[in-house]
Amino acid sequence: MVEERTDSDKVLQKVILHPRGVMLWSQDSIRLFHQRCKTDVVYIDATGSIIQKGKGRSAPFYVYELVVRHPNKGASPVPVATYVTCDHTTSSAMYFLQSFQTDYYRLFGKTSQGRPVLIMCDGSLVLLQAVAYSFCRVSLGQLLKVYYDIVTGKLKDEKMKVPILHRCLSHVMRNAKVFCKKHSPKNYRLSMHVFGLLTSAATLVEMEDILFSMAVVFSSPQCGENVEKHFLNLQTKMLNMGISGDLTEVTEEDLELDMGPTPFQRHFEDIIADAPVQDKGEPNEYYSPTFMPNLVKHFLPQAPLWSALMLGNLSRHGKGPAYQNLSKKFERCCQLDTQNYTSDNKTQGIMEKSQWDLKRVRFQRRRFTRLDDFVHIYQKTHCALLKDTRWTLSAGDKQGSPGKAFMYHHY
């Protein structure tokens, strides 16, 4: 397959012998990424249910895909790069993303660095770290420090080009389901609804208020006026946000994500420590002693990755030239009808739709044990997908393209 490749239709980019893996994309898919990522969301996720491990193999294969949303509403999302590997590590995922970026820079130049405006992925620490290093050029811990400066009004960099990294809300709520069942089994529904309230917090003040009331309600062994007051506060916020209904459709997933101390964790620890815990009176039916300590340990260190703190117009967090530039950038994006970056990006089902298409449409529910079978079908479907959406090339790209601009027309 490598020998039969042609420059005009090259999809198979790299073959890795140990650990076994392949990387697949084309110049047309790179151009699509360039055209979409500046003003819209880029998605990355992994699935492990297409290629089975062969006999004598100890590790299963994972299929990573970098996906962009189709600008035409209702059309299927388009994978711009795919990586099949049995090595589910940060270094492996980084190699994939940086290999794709290398080809991207060859086509559009180094000035395109930091181009994606928002990158959304699942809750895997492997992917979060790989995206932080590859697209944001810093470690995940350093990235969270930058986000802390933004939400506390301390941002000084007027030309901040660091992409926003965010977790898909559906994955977050799967984590939360397991977490609440373990640490608040008697008040599972309440704790899940309150967790949903946390994900909607758009400012640090909002999140502080929610966590303060949560600490009083869940950490007070006895009930009293103070517990009732803060329970009413949470209830009012949930009603205002429209958080209600059945949570049974949320499927379970991995429980916790340990990241170590971050500025957000230290900040929220201080807020929760100041909460007046009720220790006199009747027993508190909402008392869950392990709920708040483990929330601080496993979720709050990475709060901007799953809440609304870093979504929308970030100029709400502060004043000065840096925040004015963020506002101008957001307003420019709002005027485009080919993006949804300025909308509620906590969950849109894009990756789920892409994986559904991969499994049921492009591969017609087939499962493989050989990489060459996967690659053979992938190349055909990749080319057919790009032809079907009628990518057309024209001269004169003002963005730094080597002589060609990428124009997008729906078939």
Domain membership of residue 357 (yes or no) is: yes
Same domain assignment for residues 364 and 299: no
Q: Give the pLDDT confidence score for residue 251 in this predicted structure.
A: 44
pLDDT of residue 338: 77
The answer to whether position 56 is within a domain reads yes
Residues 302 and 201 in one domain: yes
- Kindly state whether residues 21 and 103 are assigned to the same domain: yes
Q: Which residues pair with 44 in a beta bridge?
A: 66, 121
Q: Note the pLDDT of residue 233.
A: 95
Span 98-119, pLDDT tens digits: 999 999 999 888 777 657 889 9
List 46's β-bridge partners, or say none: 64
Note the pLDDT of residue 401.
Answer: 40
* Segment 343-348 mean pLDDT: 64
Q: What is the pLDDT of residue 75?
A: 76
146-195 residue pLDDT tens: 999 999 999 998 778 788 999 988 888 888 999 999 999 999 999 999 99
* 342: pLDDT strictly greater than 60: yes
- 113 and 239 co-located in one domain: no
Q: Higher-confidence residue: 256 or 274?
A: 274
- Which domain, by its residues, includes 213? 170-306
Q: How many CA atoms lie within 13 A of 305 on its CB side?
A: 31
Question: What per-residue confidence (pLDDT) applies to 4?
Answer: 74
- Asked if residue 245 is part of any domain, the answer here is yes
Q: What confidence score (pLDDT) does residue 357 get? A: 74
332: pLDDT strictly greater than 60: yes
Rounded distance between C-alpha atoms, residue 193 and residue 332, angstroms: 35
302 in the same domain as 178: yes
Most confident among 121-135, 175-189, 325-339 (mean pLDDT): 175-189
The sign of the dihedral angle between the CA atoms of 344, 316, 161, 309 is negative
Q: What pLDDT digit, counting tens, does each position of 64-73 carry?
A: 999 988 777 7
What torsion do the CA atoms of 108, 109, 111, 113 make, to the nearest 10 degrees? 80
Residues 37-68: tens digit of each pLDDT: 888 889 998 877 666 665 655 567 888 999 98
Residue 391 lies in a domain: yes
385 falls within a domain: yes
- Is pLDDT of 93 > 60? yes
Residue 211 pLDDT: 97
Tally of structural domains, the chain: 2
pLDDT of 71 reads 72
Residues 276, 358: one domain? Answer: no
Do 68 and 33 contact (CB within 8 A), yes or no? yes
The answer to the question of residue 157 being in a domain is: no
Look up the pTM and report it: 0.85
198 and 109 fall within a common domain: no
Residue 204 in this model has a pLDDT that exceeds 90: yes
User: How far from chain centre, in Å, is Cα 346?
Assistant: 8
Decide if 283 is inside a domain: yes
Non-local CB neighbours of 386 within 8 Å, separated by 6+ positions: 26, 28, 29, 32, 78
pLDDT over 80 (residue 349): no
End-to-end CA distance of the chain: 29
**Exposure string (b/e) for 190-219, b if CB count within 10 Å is 16 or more?**
bbbbbbbbbbbbbebebbbbbbbbbbbbbb
Q: Are residues 293 and 184 in the same domain?
A: yes
306 and 204 Cβ atoms separated by less than 8 Å: no
Q: Which of 306, 334, 357 is the last residue of a domain?
A: 306
- 134 or 347: which leads in pLDDT: 134
CA gap 90, 259 in Å, rounded? 14
| Domain contains 138 | no
For all residues of the chain together, what is the average pLDDT?
A: 82
Domain boundary pick from 252, 274, 306: 306
| CA count, 13 A, side-chain hemisphere, 158 | 3
Residue 93 sits in the same domain as residue 196: no
Position 336 pLDDT exceeds 80 = yes
**What's the burial of 258, exposed, middle or buried (CB within 10 Å: 0-12/13-18/19+)?**
exposed
Co-location of 297 and 374 in the same domain: no
At 398 the pLDDT is 41
Convert the pLDDT of each residue in 230-259 to its tens digit: 999 999 999 887 654 444 444 444 445 556
- 26-39 pLDDT tens trace: 988 998 899 888 88
Which pLDDT value is given to residue 169?
Answer: 85
Q: Are strands 118-121 and 41-47 parallel, antiparallel or unpaired?
A: parallel
3-state secondary structure the chain: CCCCCCHHHCCEEEEECCCCEEEECCHHHHHHHHHHHCCCEEEEEEECCCECCCCCCCCCCEEEEEEECCCCCCCCCEEEEEEEECCCCHHHHHHHHHHHHHHHHHHHCHHHCCCCCEEEECCCHHHHHHHHHHHHCCCHHHHHHHHHHHHCCCCCCCCCCCCEEEECHHHHHHHHHHHHHHHCHHHHHHHHHHHHHHHCCCCHHHHHHHHHHHHHHHHCCECCHHHHHHHHHHHHHHHHHCCCCCCCCCCCCCCCCCCCCCHHHHHHHHHHHCCCCCCCCCECCCCCCCHHHHHHHHCHHHHHHHCCCCCCCHHHHCCCHHHHHHHHHHHHHHCCCCCCCCCCCCCCCHHHHHHHHHHHHHCCCCCECCHHHHHHHHHHHHHHHHHHCCEEEECCCCCCCCCCEEEECCC
pLDDT at 54: 58
Is residue 32 located within the same domain as residue 108? yes
Domain boundary among 279, 306, 333: 306
pLDDT of 408 reads: 34
Q: What is the pLDDT of residue 404?
A: 37
Comparing 2-16, 195-209, 276-290, 318-332, the range with the smallest average pLDDT is 2-16
163: left (phi over 0), alpha (psi -120 to 50) or beta: beta
pLDDT given at position 302: 93
Q: Are 100 and 46 within one domain?
A: yes
